[in-house]
A = this chain, B = another copy of it.
Amino acid sequence: MAATIYDIAREAGVSSSTVARVLRGDTKGDRKDSAERAARIRQIADNLGYRPNLRARAFSEQRTKGVGLLYTDDAWVFEGVNDKVLQGLVRELRKHDHHLLLVPVGAGGDWEELVLGGHVDGCVTFQPLPEAVRSGIRDAALPCVMLGDNSDPEMPHIVVDDVTGSYSAARHLIALGHRRIGLYVHSTVKPHCSIQERFQGFELAMTEEGLVPDFWHCPEDEMIAVLTRGGARPTGLICYSDLESTLIGHAMWQFGLKIPNDLSLIGFNDKFATKYMTPPLTTVGFDANRIGTLGAEMIIRSLTAENAKEPPAPTSVQVKTQLIVRGSTAAPPREA
């Protein structure tokens, strides 16, 4: 159906190799007759609507120029700021003539067949993956970059500077006069490095001031119960992400409590809508798009480095965070 280099070759009266070379621009055009022939070949290709067959090329070159995005199958892959990460990833990959495949892990449909079967040249992972997946990738020596996860020191990864982020958040609350401050992670968030590191930064700021860091990893109703009970409840809460902030902020409103008057709230991620919350959310932001861009660059590099037989050095990149102070934080209530 579609024209091949052979069709062109026949019509031009040359060999298929010549066509292939010309079409790839792999010719100098020194001699005059050559140049003319090249032009004619291009002309014929154009007339025939020739388009290289990518399946054949992938087979021949033994690579697809595809990169798989592996993620565990929870509901939050495209949520939060991951959309921006994804955007940066896809765009940068496209710039380098590669493309992204979405590969949920553990959602039926065998990821192994797809990823290890050679339909992708490398992969990028979101979130901590099951050990089986990691070892599968490692055994296959498949180039891989982990995003937001440094649980595997062997693999290059890009993470957010969580320690500094939560440190500055805690510092901000302390400076406002808060003494009882907590860090809240929703129970649906699976344990991984970001939780630990956000706790570390938080803990550091607290202990520097001789304060005791409180930590919750529970469903929202438990957290809400703590925040709405009388007595020594926290007056400031740092949330693992903007999701928790949304949940807690809403609950406070339902209970007739005011933010920031009754509770200072800090989110994480600076997703778009938080700017428009009531009140606008103070949050720890970072350039999510850049995570994607860097991830793409990194995987592309190891994909090309592979051709050069040089094993890519394990690399770790941190993306800076910045506290964005808006309206959800203020001095603690008097009685505190």
Within 8 A of B (CB), among A96-151: 96-97, 99-104, 107-109, 112-114, 116-119
CB distance from A116 to the nearest CB of B (A): 6
Partner of A58, one of B59, B77, B96, B278: B59
Looking across the interface, which residue of chain B has its beta carbon closest to that of A57?
Answer: B117
Partner of A94, one of B82, B107, B275: B107
As for how many copies of this chain the complex holds, the number is: 2
Within 8 A of B (CB), among A41-84: 51-56, 58-59, 62-64, 66, 73, 75, 77-79, 82-83
CB distance from A224 to the nearest CB of B (A): 13
Known: A117-B51, A276-B246. A108 touches B95 (CB 8 A): yes
Task: Tell whether A273 is near chain B: CB-to-CB under 8 Å.
Answer: yes
Task: Give Cα A54–Cα B62 distance, bound, in whole angstroms.
Answer: 10
Task: Give Cα A93–Cα B79 distance, bound, in whole angstroms.
Answer: 20
Within 8 A of B (CB), among A256-299: 272-273, 275-278, 280
Q: Is the CB of B113 within 8 A of A51?
A: yes
Task: Give Cα A275–Cα B109 distance, bound, in whole angstroms.
Answer: 33
CB distance from A142 to the nearest CB of B (A): 12
> Which residues does chain B contribute within 8 Å of A66, judged by CB atoms?
101, 119
Partner of A90, one of B56, B102, B247, B277: B102
* Given contact pairs A53-B118, A54-B117, A58-B59, a sample of 17 additional A-B residue pairs in the complex whose CB atoms are under 8 Å apart: A2-B118, A51-B112, A53-B117, A54-B113, A55-B118, A55-B119, A59-B59, A78-B78, A90-B102, A90-B104, A91-B104, A91-B107, A93-B109, A94-B109, A99-B119, A247-B276, A250-B275
Q: What are 29 A-B pairs at a CB distance below 8 A?
A: A51-B116, A51-B117, A54-B114, A54-B119, A55-B59, A55-B64, A55-B119, A56-B59, A58-B58, A58-B59, A66-B119, A75-B87, A78-B82, A78-B83, A79-B272, A90-B102, A90-B104, A91-B104, A91-B107, A93-B109, A94-B104, A96-B109, A99-B103, A101-B102, A249-B276, A250-B278, A273-B273, A277-B277, A277-B278
